[in-house]
Amino acid sequence: MQEKAYRSIVKTISWRTLGTLDTMVISYIITGSLTMAASIGSIELFTKMVLYYYHERAWNKTDFGRHKLGVNDYHI
């Protein structure tokens, strides 16, 4: 079963939101500057979102780690 592109987009946005908040907190702890933390978080938000989307789509094209359900496998 392959995932639709919109699923990858939603996963990308939710993951980057969490990741960016983490980056901003760490940046603030290190720099002590809210402005610097927001700048770092803003830049990495967009660059990593684009990278993650293409990474996710590339993995969707491979069958590595997937298996097809057999006739005796339980289906929900």
Domain boundaries, the chain: 5-59
CA distances from 32 to 5, 22, 25, 27, 37 (A): 39, 15, 10, 8, 8
Place of tokens 């097809």: 68
pLDDT in tens, 6-19: 887 888 788 888 99
CA quadruple 47, 51, 56, 57: dihedral sign? positive
Assessment of whether the complete model's pTM goes beyond 0.75: no
Percentage of the residues of the chain whose pLDDT score is greater than 90:
33
- Residue 29 sits at φ, ψ, to 5 deg, of -60, -40
